[in-house]
Amino acid sequence: MAPSMLSKAFLSLWTFSSAVRAYPNGPWYQVPLGENVLGDPTRYPTADDKHVDYVVVGGGASGLTVAARLSEDPSVTVAIVEAGKCPPALDWGFDTTPQEGADGRVKHFTNAKTLGGNSAFNLMAYMATSTGALQKWADEVGDDSWTYSNVAKYFQKSLNFTGIDPSKRRLNATPELDTSHVGHGGPLDVTYANYGQPFSTWIKKAFDQAGMLPVGGFMSGDMFGSSWVLDTINHTDGKRASSSKAFLQPILGQRKNLFLYNVTLAEKVLFNDKTATGVQVSRGKTIFTLSAAHEVIITAGGLMTPQLLQVSGVGDANLLKKYNIPVVLDAPSVGQNMEDHISFGIGHKVDVQTNSALKYKDQYDEAVEEFQGQQAGLLSSPGPDFGGFADIPLDLRNFSASTKSDLASFPKDWPEAFFISFPIDMGFPTDGYNYAMLFCTLMTPMSRGTISIKSASMKDSPVINPRWLTSSTDVEIAVAAFRRVRQILQMPVLQQNIIVGSEITPGSDVKSYDEIHHYLKQNFASMSHPASTCRMGKDGDKNAVVDSKGRVLGLDHLRIADASTFPFLPPGLPLGVVYMVAEKIADDIKHARKQQHSEL
């Protein structure tokens, strides 16, 4: 596969518009990569000034969760501002600056522009994180309410878990899950797909041989081991359960105190001295104001939350003055400390059916019929469905002293890598064979990036500089993890049963440290998990932007409730942590409001 072809193929999978082009007539519109989330536009408010109690900026996983929870009280009015509209306008089209860790190339950074945010077209995996990571979180923000024992209820609160349908899912792909760690009766459906990928059943055997033994789900606070991955799939129709479908659609139009302003851009937060009073928004050429009697809550994500703060006058004063933005608060940490996960993989020809089959009309038509009739088969699966968390094994740990020191800063239950089956065709030949990959996502990123502005307008994209693979620690671990992927794929259970021929991507000639490093620079893919750009921390922490309840330090009536507040990017895939943070901060807001009323 040509240099950078893998990362381009991964990106095309990650974006809904490419999936629609690949499968124009089938259920890819519905599962797993998309849905019509906007409904009837006549239900939405006109572009006029309005006064509400809370304005929520951003209609993604966190924003819709917060808005739904606050509007449970019929006496509370809530407005949601979301720039997105219906497909294919699902992505903001952001690119990074030239990246040193990618040989100077500019890379696309996927960022959802639709109701539901990234939950409307990600790979749907739902998991918690490690107990030690959450203890570290609590320690760094000075608030024990963030320990695993205290936030487990928020991981569960959103969820409605249902088990598998054994009539549709093969018995050799039966998940093991301790259901005491998942919620029942919440708005967000989580389950296992009705189709367990055959490639993944063999990867499970290989993980067993590699020492990644079954852990019974990634919800208990223990991440080490392997498991079938829980997905946000609606158990009744097999379609994606995005935050829009789970939290918004059931109540929109039913709650007269909830107002959705979609296709509406938040231009800036408005202030009276240090107090947020509302948001200036625009729909087309019409500019109007949504005033907030209590709070403005920003949930625009790791890229656009810091951008919105900066254009509103909250950020590094020198940067703001450059664009003639009046300084409300000199906060140099806004847009700093960005973390992200990166992935890479190795591909083989395999002797089991994978999503390569969907390239052929007869097999694709059969899959469509099976999904439409039974919500089963290839199209009912998100693809990557079995994963394992582990550290790099001893025989590959030829790390420098600085890398060892960096790794020692993480809690002991924080795994270094996540390995996941990837039975999806990534631009391989159309030659009648099935292809699959084993991917690895690094869990201990040390590279830190930045988000800044290039104008005073939200209509211009932010300056995104993730600085991937600029830390020597990240490079050393990436090379070692790549070698571990290769080791796993050489396990006898795979070589003797399903792998056909030699390694396809990148090829067995990529062997030395420098060769692997070069390949990774050319081919790694961002997981689009930007976090920590408005870090949570203690008052007085120079790197903190918000306190442990998401309140922006130094300002009143302004709060943030998304991944930008993470004090660090915890191990695992972050969708579950995003929902947890939203549920917890929504509860904090409700408790504060109740306390205020009791004091009157």
Cite the active site residues. Answer: 529
Closest CA to 438 of 494, 395, 379, 361: 494
Amino acid making up residue 268: K
Closest CA to 308 of 534, 555, 121: 534
**H-type alpha helices, 272-360:** 301-311, 317-322
Amino acid making up residue 514: D
Helix (H) or strand (E) holding 580: helix 575-599
Distance, in Å, from the CA atom of 11 to the CA atom of 18, rounded to the nearest integer, reads 9
- Judged by phi (left if over 0) then psi (alpha if -120 to 50, else beta), residue 57 lies in beta
User: Reduced to 3 states, what is the DSSP secondary structure of residue 390?
Assistant: strand
C-beta separation of 81 from 57 below 8 A: yes
C-beta separation of 560 from 297 below 8 A: yes
Distance, in Å, from the CA atom of 219 to the CA atom of 198, rounded to the nearest integer, reads 24
Tokens for 204, please give them.
Answer: 């499970």
Q: How many CB atoms lie within 10 A of CB 191?
A: 23
Q: How many CB atoms lie within 10 A of CB 319?
A: 18
Distance, in Å, from the CA atom of 11 to the CA atom of 109, rounded to the nearest integer, reads 9
The DSSP annotation for 32-101 comes to SS-------GGGSPPSS-EEEEEEEE--SHHHHHHHHHHTTSTT--EEEEE---STT--B--EEBPPBGG
The DSSP annotation for 197-260 comes to -HHHHHHHHHHHHHT--B-S-S-SS--BEEEEPPB-B-TTT--B--HIIIIITTTTTT-TTEEE
Distance, in Å, from the CA atom of 563 to the CA atom of 177, rounded to the nearest integer, reads 27
